[in-house]
Amino acid sequence: MDRRWPFVVFIVLLIALHLFLRVGLGLGFWVPDLLTVALLLAARRMPAGYASGLGLAIGLIRDSVNLTTFGSDAVVLTILGYFGSRTRDYFVGDSMFFLAIYLFIGKWVHDALYFVVARVVGVRDAVSTLLIEAPLAAGYAALAGLVLFSAYRAFARER
């Protein structure tokens, strides 16, 4: 029996949940960034090329909703998928402590790269964006990712 399909379903559900909550219900910034969480979790289990492709696909999905900076998230998530996959070579294991740090840093790097690529705010807002808003969003996404991944592990009986 193939043991990958429950994880693939989990990643697809994260993407669908993000789109349903943020776009369908219009909750906006109240919803954690589940697209980045889904990419970071999937990238740990994929080769770098596939993780980059998944990042590109997820980035295009997010960019289709935000037309002002079209393509920026596709570039950022492609890079993040590649480097997220490469962390498997340097950090072994999936403890909750490591996962919390991994998701926090991954989301913060996403926001920092997006800030550089999209240039959506002025230079005066750089400090508040990168040092206040991005860490808060990263902590929120990491917490949501830990809760949802713990639920997945319990459901899939995965250690």
Cα 96 to Cα 4, 44, 93, 101, 157: the distances in Å are 20, 14, 9, 9, 16
Digit-coded pLDDT (tens) for 61-102: 998 887 777 888 999 999 999 999 999 888 877 789 999 999
The Cα–Cα gap between 27 and 121 comes to 22
Q: Identify the pLDDT of residue 130.
A: 84
The total of other beta-carbon atoms located within 10 Å of residue 143's CB is 14
Digit-coded pLDDT (tens) for 9-44: 999 999 999 999 988 888 888 999 999 999 999 999
The Cα–Cα gap between 73 and 99 comes to 23
What residue type is assigned to position 27 of the chain?
L
pLDDT above 90 coverage of the chain, percent: 62
pTM to 2 decimal places: 0.92
- Model confidence at 1: pLDDT above 50: no
Digit-coded pLDDT (tens) for 101-127: 999 999 999 999 998 887 765 555 777
